[in-house]
Structure 1
Amino acid sequence: MLRPLMIALLLASGPAFAQSVAFGGMQADSSAPVEVAADRLEVDQADGNAVFTGNVVIGQGEMRLSADRVTVEYANEEQSRIRSMHAVGNVVLVSGGDAAEAREAVYQVETGGVTLTGDVVLAQGESVLTGDKMIVDLVNGTARVDGRVRSILQQGGN
């Protein structure tokens, strides 16, 4: 009897609500090589950043990130270490059996942190969670959703 009341309170919660969730089913290795595929690559010689556009797919270990456009910021002048990636447009992050969608994402490669913003939708099996912002820690396999959080929680059947 208490469970339906708790779910109703969760769905009616205000904008300041945040929810922590597990993400990815496994821990990701932020030191693993990063593979990028795209329709086009432009490199800015002035700042050394690389911009990938068109069907961008980034893979690192079990994690996949796709978007319309991704700007890669390097941590050093030799461009041998990636500091961060800023993905824009139709962003999808998949890790293990979990998938998240958003308008934008910033992936801090060195720390394994991903921040998704703009109409975030997280699908974990049949359960769905939405919010304004999601912060994912790929190293620990955790995530936190902030903003107007709404959730559909599926109960296990007998």
Structure 2
Amino acid sequence: MKFKALAAVSALAVLALPAVGDAQVNKQTSNQPIAFGADSGEQTPVSISLRGRAEVTQGGNRLRADAITMFRNAAGDPDRVEATGTVYFVTPTQSMRGDRAVYTINNGEVVVTGNVILTQGQNVLTGGRLNYNVNTDAATMAGAPRGSAGTRIQGVFYPGNN
């Protein structure tokens, strides 16, 4: 059991490593402009709701889902994005898939939950909850809640193929 836990932690460490060259630059993707599109949308003073092929992009990152709601702070700026349905969050180096995602813009944190699949090159990691930071490329995966099928994270890694 100790070996499996060590293997899982080692696997997460591999995913958390930035791509070559990224370590020298703090990207601050969360400070870049946000663009969005969808088949239909609705705006209120506190949110923008997108439905049907909903998509939000920021820097080199893209969030796509069946439905996306962008919430605004008191100044009217977007501060949180919630996506539901079949959710994909794609960066230049990784792709995440889940049932729901919440992106907190001010700290760059993305939390993907529900049947999560994280891919980086040929490497694949699955679990129930993924925390990812768009500014640092750091990722942490957790298993599904107790009682659900498959409470552990699982992964396949191909050394030297990325």
Structure 1 and Structure 2 fold alike (TM over 0.5): yes
**Alpha-carbon separation, structure 2, partners of 1:37 and 1:24:** 29
Aligned pairs, number:
143
Pairing 1:8-157 to 2, within 5 Å after superposition: 9=4, 19-20=12-13, 21-22=15-16, 25=19, 26=22, 27-45=27-45, 48-76=46-74, 78-79=75-76, 81-147=77-143, 148-156=152-160
Of all paired residues, the percent bearing the same amino acid is: 28
Shift of 1:57: 1.3
**Alpha-carbon separation, structure 2, partners of 1:99 and 1:28:** 19
Letter in 2 for 1:141: D
Structure of greater Rg: 1
Letter in 2 for 1:150: Q
Letter in 1 for 2:71: E
Greater RCO, CA 8 A, separation 6+:
1
**Alpha-carbon separation, structure 2, partners of 1:39 and 1:23:** 36
The answer to whether the 8 A contact 1:54-1:69 is kept is: yes
Shift of 1:126: 0.7
Greater percentage in helix = 2
Shift of 1:28: 4.6
Letter in 2 for 1:146: A
* Structure-2 residue corresponding to 1:3: none
TM-score by length of 2: 0.79
The answer to whether the 8 A contact 1:102-1:119 is kept is: yes
Two-structure CA RMSD over aligned residues (Å): 2.5
TM-score by length of 1: 0.80
Segments ≥4 residues shifted beyond 4 Å: none
Greater percentage in strand = 1
